[in-house]
Chains A and B, each alone.
Chain A
Amino acid sequence: DAGITQSPRHKVTETGTPVTLRCHQTENHRYMYWYRQDPGHGLRLIHYSYGVKDTDKGEVSDGYSVSRSKTEDFLLTLESATSSQTSVYFCAISELAEQFFGPGTRLTVL
């Protein structure tokens, strides 16, 4: 597996609380992505980054923000978690088109 880690791997939180998920890479890849995976929907892009401080929205960005202050780290923040954001979140990295995924974070919002 490519050098991608995600933390935490599992989290249970309550509605209305802020949550931050971290993705860390050791591959020095330019692109980093955050996806959510839900049954019947496949993988849907939340936000992506094409360099330090350079980010853009994906198809399901409402309720999420991201930051990338270093090449190796990409943070996903849920400002005020809702039950609809219960999902499995995958980070991915890419260089020259090939994309590799992190191990995932299972988030449950009660």
Chain B
Amino acid sequence: GENVEQHPSTLSVQEGDSAVIKCTYSDSASNYFPWYKQELGKRPQLIIDIRSNVGEKKDQRIAVTLNKTAKHFSLHITETQPEDSAVYFCAATTGNQFYFGTGTSLTVIP
């Protein structure tokens, strides 16, 4: 089955700086790559996603890039704010089962 690896496991940045989280996947048939944000004690929330026919997608301060050849995708958060502090998960799927990375705990220092 699919194997998704996520790095780093923890990340601290100064407010206003950028944060980058990277994921790799193993199954070349995976075609949908969502990113979730999970605040403490809450459910994971979908924040952005990308499909395999697109190389980059942006939504305000967050963006996701996909490199199908290298089988990796990344989450970019610009102009970080304290409310961006949370755990972020990447995932990959061929359509039925979703495979998640182990999460990145992002701390934005005011």
Contact = CB atoms under 8 A, between A and B. Distances in A.
B34 A98 contact: yes
A43 B100 contact: yes
Contacts of B89: 42-43
Interface residues of A, number: 25
A31 B93 CA distance: 13
A45 B98 contact: yes
Q: Is the interface of A mostly helix, strand, loop or mixed?
A: strand
How many B residues are at the interface, by size bracket? 20 to 34
Given A59-B1, A97-B93, A98-B49, A33 B44 contact: no
B46 interface: yes
A3 interface: no
Q: Is the interface of B mostly helix, strand, loop or mixed?
A: strand
Interface in A63-106: 90, 92, 94, 97-104
Interface string A24-35: 000000010100
Given A42-B102, A44-B100, A99-B98, 15 more contacts: A33-B98, A41-B102, A42-B6, A43-B44, A43-B91, A43-B100, A45-B97, A48-B97, A97-B32, A97-B93, A97-B95, A98-B34, A100-B46, A103-B42, A104-B43
